[in-house]
Structure 1
Amino acid sequence: MSELAGLFAPQCVAVVGATEREGSVGRAVVRNLLADFEGEVVPVNPRFDRLFDRECHDSVAGTGADLAVVAVPAEAVPGVVEQASEASIENVVVISAGFGEAGPEGTDREERLVDIAEEYDLNLVGPNSIGVISTPSGLNATFSPRNALDGSISFMSQSGAYITAVLDWAADRNLGFKDIVSLGNKAVLDESDFVAAWGDDPETDVVLGYLEGIRDGRRFMEVAREVTAETPVLAVKSGRTEAGATAAASHTGAIAGSEAAYDAGLDQSGVIRVDTGEELFEFGQMLAGQPLPEGEGVAVVTNAGGPGVMATDAIGDAEAELAPLGESTRERLDDVLPAAASRRNPVDVIGDADADRFGAALEVVLDDPNVGAAVVIACPTATLAFESLADTLAAVTGDYDLPVAACLMGGESTEAAAATLADVGLPSYFDPARAVRSLDVLFEYREIRDRTYEAPRTFDVDREAAREILATVRDRSDNRLGVEAMDLLEAYGIPTPEGRIVDSPRAARETAEAIDGDVVMKIVSPDILHKTDVGGVEVGVADEDVADIYETLVTRARNYQQDARILGVQVQEMVDLGAGVETIVGANRDPQFGPLLLFGLGGVFVEVFEDTATRVAPVSEREAAGMIDAIDSAPLLRGARGRTPVDEAAVVETIGRLSQLVTDFPAIVELDINPLVATPDGVAAVDLRLTVDPETL
């Protein structure tokens, strides 16, 4: 942690705004530092000569500090930070509020802080932060009423109040931390900086985050991908909203909202997204204290049948599986269990079991090669002392490099035992399902750790032709393009049916005669987004009917909207929808993560079923194939109900080509290919709709 070493392990901390006034932030910060910090603490306040029985400086400039904690009125903060920078103090924590969260004047002050930090290459936390904690150095530069216990979990939070609550909660559960950072407004240092720093820190085993947003999604993904190969990262992302709640000009825009981008971005970067704060810390404690499983199966050892069944059900819902115990294991269990006990998984040691019987049974199942992890469930009985069981579990698990979770199903009687288990990194739970889910996160992270990231495939495309097509929006009164831009797909190698747009019945007839078989005809108008709803599509039109249908489509469009701009009628080779599956491939642009791809079941029912998968572009072939795996209707593509499987490789390639298109052209705001008809012989993009920002071309 070379770049941020001075932030977490300073030699001298200056507290600007120090005071002995009761109830003040400046007093609380100094008190917390004096309690445990191994280095020097220097109060700074021009109103006093001495504070806390030590010399008080009138300026941060003469303190010799390598970390400054600033707790002064907001309007004075930029001046203090500049003084610190000029005095070669590289690390600053701004606790003061009244910046970007406080309106235009505060925003101006925050921008000033950013300018100073850039000029002096400053590590700045906040503003509007409660501070930082680092237990190895005894640093508690916060105004939290409680300090952290020692541990190997590093935690960041956008909510300072949440940190104070977590510290109080964690103390009762013997949950320790290495570093804690209150991110505040993230004016300079943000979540990416701390994930990178903790990924390089040998004393951090797990990184946890409470996030309300990610400032630069693409940078975060790059950093997290590298870090999660060695260090697990888990996050709660709050502020979930209903995807597509606002109107959008495409199906993709309606379905792939911001939360879909966060889900995709975190998943692709190896970050485990959890739903609750309780999961965040329970899973973090498990990852910090237990080894990763080698095998696939989970064994359950219990003194109660019902909770054993509950654990079995939870395993059925998990990534892991219930381990089949081998014959030799069952024979060895005969030697340690009474006749009434169950020798199959879950292993029921029955209600009169003491700690020794639990320990003997656990040793036997952990020796089974099919067992990669175990859950021990104990209900209180007259023959079982939880404290003895905790000592036994600590001794047994110390001899095995396998993860174990304890489920002590009691209240006050379990507290001492739970503390004993926590001391050896063995988490305990009341609910069997929670114990199983926490174990399951080890299997989940093992899969993340073993991932091999591939570079996206680069296709040979006609980028200049694509640019010219997109630039046609400059000559229009809106920024939407439809089937008149089908050549855009051709430029990027995405197959389209034969056809063209015509502006007269005669041209329609000539085009149809050049195409084998009947044709599809569609009205082309930027003002009519859903053509089928207004009778703007006719399928299976014979050559002799084409001219009349041309007139009919134009009349319907005029009757629907008199001032609609009619660009013509598309005459297109008819694709046999019965021979394939209608899918959708689309993209929209997320403000944090950039282009977001969507794939799923398409056609007119795309927004009804919303059976789609999303990924942040660009995607590798493996990620593109994973989008197919992720949708519920994947069996339709793979030959369900006797159908011939579609050309899945062609679908994957199309996703890859679209990924390259929207990555090459940030001007594409939204794009739908719907339907993309997938058949055993390939794919065909039948319809297109996109929105373009001409200012970014």
Structure 2
Amino acid sequence: MSIRNLDALFRPSSIALIGASRRPGTVGAVLARNLFAGGFDGPVMPVNPQARSIGSALAYASVADLPVTPDLAVIATPPATVPGLIAELGARGTRAAVVVTAGFGAGPGQTDGVALRQAVLDAARPHLLRVLGPNCLGLMAPHHGVNASFAHISPLPGDLAFVSQSGAIATAVLDWATHRGIGFSHVVSLGDMADVDFGDLLDWLAADGRTRAILLYVEAVTHARKFMSAGRIAARTKPVVAIKAGRTEAAARAAASHTGALAGSDAVYDAAFRRAGMLRVFDLAELFDAVETLASRLHVDGDRLAVMTNGGGAGVLATEALGESGGTMAELAAGTMARLDAVLPPTWSHGNPVDIVGDATGERYAHALDAMLADPGKDAVLVMNCPTAVADPIDAARAVVQSVNNAATRDGARPPVLTCWLGEGAAAAARRLFAEHRIPSYATPGQAARAFMHLARYRRNQKLLMETPPALPQDFAPDPAAARAVIAAALAGGRTMLTEPESKQVLEAYRIPVIRTRSVAADPAAAAEAASSFSGPVALKILSPDITHKSDLGGVRLNLQGAEQVCIAAREMLATIGKAAPDARLLGFTVQEMARKPDAHELILGIGQDRLFGPTILFGHGGTAVEVLRDSAVALPPLNGVLAHDLMARTRVWRLLQGYRSRPKADLDAVVLTLMKLSQLAADLSEVVELDINPLLADGDGVLALDARIRVQPPLPPGTPRFAIRPYPQHLVQCFALHDGLAVTLRPVRPEDESAMREMLQRSSPDDIRLRFFGPMRTFDHEFAARLTQIDYDREMALVAEAEEGGRAVLLGAVRIIADPDNISAEYGIMVRSDLKRQGLGYRLMTEIIAYARSRGLARIFGEVLRENTTMLRMVEELGFAREDVPEEPGLVRVTIVLDA
């Protein structure tokens, strides 16, 4: 389920409180007090068989005695009674329940908890009754007068929604926010999330007009794919800021690969928040700081900050805080330096931070700020003021306001300026002035630098949702069948770890360059003989299905010259491993030519498995010290070129790959392509549980995998939802011909189709565009086209018709459906290029999208068509759509087809 019946939680017409009490200090008494005092415009009906009234309201002995069916029930009775109450309420027509009762878990003293939890769900399911909790604080919707919680304080009405897995955190936030005058549209405690979870509420709040921003306190997500789909939709419409508890782990989980050890659960959550377009913060104060900063609607394009101050010490603090937050001090252009020289005293700092000296007047602030706002190398300016006896901080603040207002564009967009006036007194008055003019202001340099990085990280995450990626090379043709054959042979032999040669065969099937293992030798003598065939130094490695980290046990020797050195090293290796791993099965040795790449960087690339989010992709600084360096980052597949670049840029080794001193730049495109190939491998091969390439050598000539290890499992049934983000549905690709014989490929749309989509629209007549989009459109900008091509395959589908034209692929038409969160109804849209009409393409596109909708279990497809679009109306009628008028829009016709799933 998703948002079905959530209106009964947040906008009920009537409420029943089951377990209401008059006994002071009990949960039932606090719930009753809050419900009666919340200002709810509807009946609140207490249920208590031992009480005649609760407060001034008549009490009822049972659910059966209630005079009206409650939309919402709040339950605070012993755990064993809850399933029966849910069944009784559902039968009466109640649509939602808040279960504050605890005791439904699997912890100590809760032996029946899991069974009772399932019984609650079983009782609710036939009636589609939604359950919040159990073991929760409750919910509050101040604008509707609903306080169905046992919190000690009622929230002020506002435009922030706070969703917390912890009731204690919810009450702490309420207390903190109320004393600061911060209000909420919704406050929800999820508790054990037996039914209603983060994904459901993200879907609901994304569409809620009273909610400006969504705040999350997350301990654990239950349904990863739902969370990611809902989160990406919500984050495109309003800021979503999250705190994740449990950032550290007591110990790394046991894993057969470096990837498994490095890709801890917190790193995966971090990747999930980033991929969803959310902003992650790390404490409650930062949570509200971030919301207020994002509310300023300032837009920054990067993380380069220019700092202006009248005190050098404050500039140093801002610089340090910026570096700790991952930002960069902007490098001022020569022209900016010249302008500053002309308006500042000779003793100014001549660099960033720009110290304009302690006696700076408002006029000096204005001149310096004007120069810095014009600098092309900055993404924002932080203006600071330290109180002095020789200058007026209010005068400086007024000058900053004037400069910002003068620099505002005609459409009201304000330049990215943040302020920090230190101290109290005059500083407080300056902050009020900034607030009046919507200029964000902070009390300390650290807060200001952190706020800038909130803007930069949020903007970066939002851009990743919309940036058009490059396409995979057309000549990339992996061979999944060859990889599966290698894996199947190992599984048939009772092994879950592939040998190094087998692992490299799998990589080769996905066109990842590997250093070839020239020889496999059974014993030291055979290894020596194999080495004699090489003209240069060789690497000797132990071959064992039981040893994955060969270097750790002395199973790797490098730069061996000639047969004699190899023979001696092989004997020593057997002795060493015999002591370190006496039970390991030793199959012999591999002998490889040493790779001659003196300028190459050692990287690690890998595939891991997260229990919740499924496959993950890791990139970082490789080599034998990989787990000591811990310079790595994790991303959720599927990856495209943009996402792969972003993954790499989150590591320290990324800067080394750009080249430095005499070391040339690495072939970054080759590394990106390798990450994309691993992403495809993860999508194709459910058998691969963990994979390491360590090291992957990267230099200016490309990449080369020196060592690899892969852990496998039996293949999962086709269609098993493994990915948190649904990968490209390759199975929907098909070919057919139009009436005139033109060969067409029908396939799901890809993000890299943006330019082709824009071309298709530009080659259509203005009238066809108007009929499709219900209005004239002359240009199709990036954001518009990106929304047509960058879709969530779990919530929507767009099929495009592609053909060869002049030696290149072009789009001929497209059809799409967007499903509601409950997967019941979907709205369709279709466009065929104007010069390709009457070729049967539109009809084929519609039949294919209807078939797809039926396959995923949708109940109906609907659309709105301009009454004058007679061609479309005639086609959908032939396909079985029914039509009805839209009373509020006389020019529109609503068409609907009911599907037999």
Q: 1:241 aligns with which of 248, 257, 269?
A: 248
Is 1:97 aligned to 2:115, yes or no?
no
Relative to its length, the structure with more helix (as a share) is 1
Change in Cα spacing, 1:501 to 1:298, as seen in structure 2 (3 Å) is closer
Residue pair 2:404, 2:417 contacting (<8 A) in 1 also: no
Q: 2:540 aligns with which of 521, 530, 534?
A: 521
Deviation at 1:279, TM superposition (A): 0.4
Q: Where in structure 2 are the equivalents of 1:552-591 lying within 5 Å?
A: 552=571, 555-556=574-575, 557-558=577-578, 561-578=581-598, 580-591=600-611
* Cα distance in 2, alignment partners of residues 248 and 465 from structure 1: 26
Deviation at 1:254, TM superposition (A): 1.9
**SS of aligned partner of 1:85:** helix
Structure 2, gaps ≥5 residues long? 718-901
**SS of aligned partner of 2:22:** coil
Change in Cα spacing, 1:96 to 1:421, as seen in structure 2 (3 Å) is farther
Change in Cα spacing, 1:155 to 1:420, as seen in structure 2 (3 Å) is farther
* Cα distance in 2, alignment partners of residues 496 and 548 from structure 1: 25
Deviation at 1:495, TM superposition (A): 2.1
Aligned residue for 2:506? 488
* Cα distance in 1, alignment partners of residues 392 and 550 from structure 2: 72
**SS of aligned partner of 1:480:** coil
Q: 1:53 aligns with which of 32, 53, 56?
A: 56
Aligned residue for 1:8? 10
Change in Cα spacing, 1:417 to 1:646, as seen in structure 2 (3 Å) is closer
Aligned residue for 2:775? none
Residue pair 2:348, 2:354 contacting (<8 A) in 1 also: no
Aligned residue for 2:762? none
Aligned residue for 2:651? 631
Q: 1:659 aligns with which of 679, 698, 708?
A: 679
* Cα distance in 1, alignment partners of residues 436 and 32 from structure 2: 30
Answer 1 or 2: higher relative contact order, Cα 8 Å, separation at least 6.
1
Deviation at 1:297, TM superposition (A): 7.8
Aligned residue for 1:600? 620
Aligned residue for 2:167? 160
* Cα distance in 2, alignment partners of residues 562 and 305 from structure 1: 64
* Cα distance in 1, alignment partners of residues 37 and 73 from structure 2: 18
Is 1:501 aligned to 2:520, yes or no?
yes
Is 1:187 aligned to 2:194, yes or no?
yes
* Cα distance in 2, alignment partners of residues 418 and 199 from structure 1: 32
**SS of aligned partner of 2:216:** strand
> Structure 1 length as normaliser, TM-score?
0.85
**SS of aligned partner of 1:578:** coil
> Structure 2 length as normaliser, TM-score?
0.67
Q: Where in structure 2 are the equivalents of 1:209-248 lying within 5 Å?
A: 209-242=216-249, 245-248=252-255
Structure 1, gaps ≥5 residues long? none
Residue pair 1:349, 1:358 contacting (<8 A) in 2 also: no
Aligned residue for 1:254? 261
Residue pair 1:508, 1:550 contacting (<8 A) in 2 also: no
* Cα distance in 2, alignment partners of residues 547 and 302 from structure 1: 65
Deviation at 1:643, TM superposition (A): 2.6
Q: 1:17 aligns with which of 19, 23, 31?
A: 19
* Cα distance in 1, alignment partners of residues 444 and 5 from structure 2: 42
* One-letter amino acid matched to 1:433: G
Is 1:431 aligned to 2:450, yes or no?
no
Change in Cα spacing, 1:331 to 1:222, as seen in structure 2 (3 Å) is same
* One-letter amino acid matched to 1:611: D
Is 1:266 aligned to 2:273, yes or no?
yes
Deviation at 1:33, TM superposition (A): 2.3
Q: Greater CA deviation, 65-74 or 301-310? A: 301-310
Residue pair 1:95, 1:128 contacting (<8 A) in 2 also: yes
Change in Cα spacing, 1:151 to 1:481, as seen in structure 2 (3 Å) is same
* Cα distance in 1, alignment partners of residues 500 and 366 from structure 2: 68
* Cα distance in 1, alignment partners of residues 373 and 655 from structure 2: 36
**SS of aligned partner of 2:161:** strand
Q: Deviations over 1:14-34 (max 9, x none)?
A: 211122221122222222222
* One-letter amino acid matched to 2:245: S
* One-letter amino acid matched to 2:278: V
* One-letter amino acid matched to 2:508: E
Is 1:85 aligned to 2:90, yes or no?
yes
* Cα distance in 2, alignment partners of residues 359 and 143 from structure 1: 55
Q: 1:474 aligns with which of 487, 491, 498?
A: 491
* One-letter amino acid matched to 2:25: G
Change in Cα spacing, 1:139 to 1:463, as seen in structure 2 (3 Å) is same
Change in Cα spacing, 1:536 to 1:169, as seen in structure 2 (3 Å) is closer
Q: 1:199 aligns with which of 185, 203, 206?
A: 206
* Cα distance in 1, alignment partners of residues 402 and 178 from structure 2: 21
Deviation at 1:129, TM superposition (A): 0.8
* Cα distance in 1, alignment partners of residues 260 and 291 from structure 2: 35
Change in Cα spacing, 1:453 to 1:120, as seen in structure 2 (3 Å) is farther
Residue pair 1:19, 1:26 contacting (<8 A) in 2 also: yes
Q: Where in structure 2 are the equivalents of 1:84-163 lying within 5 Å?
A: 84-100=89-105, 102=107, 103-163=110-170
* Cα distance in 1, alignment partners of residues 431 and 189 from structure 2: 29
Q: Deviations over 1:556-615 (max 9, x none)?
A: 344654443122322334322425232221122111211122222222222232222221
Q: Greater CA deviation, 407-416 or 97-106? A: 407-416
Q: Greater CA deviation, 298-307 or 655-664? A: 298-307
* One-letter amino acid matched to 2:187: I
Is 1:38 aligned to 2:56, yes or no?
no
Aligned residue for 2:632? 612
Q: Deviations over 1:149-175 (max 9, x none)?
A: 222211111111111111111122222
**SS of aligned partner of 2:261:** helix
Q: Deviations over 1:304-356 (max 9, x none)?
A: 7754664466557664766889799989999xxx9999999868797898xxx
* Cα distance in 2, alignment partners of residues 470 and 284 from structure 1: 49
Change in Cα spacing, 1:406 to 1:163, as seen in structure 2 (3 Å) is farther
Q: Where in structure 2 are the equivalents of 1:332-481 lying within 5 Å?
A: 369=374, 375=383, 377=385, 379=387, 401-402=413-414, 407=420, 409-410=422-423, 429-451=442-464, 452-453=466-467, 457=472, 460-476=477-493, 479-481=496-498
**Pairwise CA RMSD of aligned residues?**
4.4
Deviation at 1:298, TM superposition (A): 6.6
Q: Greater CA deviation, 552-561 or 317-326? A: 317-326
Q: Greater CA deviation, 134-143 or 620-629? A: 620-629
**SS of aligned partner of 1:599:** strand
Is 1:688 aligned to 2:708, yes or no?
yes
Change in Cα spacing, 1:290 to 1:303, as seen in structure 2 (3 Å) is farther
Change in Cα spacing, 1:476 to 1:404, as seen in structure 2 (3 Å) is same
Change in Cα spacing, 1:251 to 1:125, as seen in structure 2 (3 Å) is same
Change in Cα spacing, 1:426 to 1:76, as seen in structure 2 (3 Å) is farther
Aligned residue for 1:72? 77
* Cα distance in 1, alignment partners of residues 32 and 534 from structure 2: 82
**SS of aligned partner of 1:249:** coil
Q: Greater CA deviation, 407-416 or 114-123? A: 407-416
Deviation at 1:185, TM superposition (A): 0.7
Structure 1 vs Structure 2: percent identity of aligned residues? 36
* Cα distance in 2, alignment partners of residues 462 and 247 from structure 1: 31
Residue pair 2:527, 2:567 contacting (<8 A) in 1 also: no
* Cα distance in 1, alignment partners of residues 481 and 661 from structure 2: 44
Change in Cα spacing, 1:440 to 1:245, as seen in structure 2 (3 Å) is closer
Residue pair 1:537, 1:553 contacting (<8 A) in 2 also: no
Residue pair 2:158, 2:185 contacting (<8 A) in 1 also: yes
Q: Greater CA deviation, 535-544 or 95-104? A: 535-544
Deviation at 1:96, TM superposition (A): 0.9
Q: Greater CA deviation, 567-576 or 167-176? A: 567-576
Q: Deviations over 1:497-543 (max 9, x none)?
A: 23353446787688668777554332211233343455533445677
Residue pair 1:526, 1:565 contacting (<8 A) in 2 also: yes
Aligned residue for 1:536? 555
* One-letter amino acid matched to 1:495: P
Change in Cα spacing, 1:389 to 1:564, as seen in structure 2 (3 Å) is closer
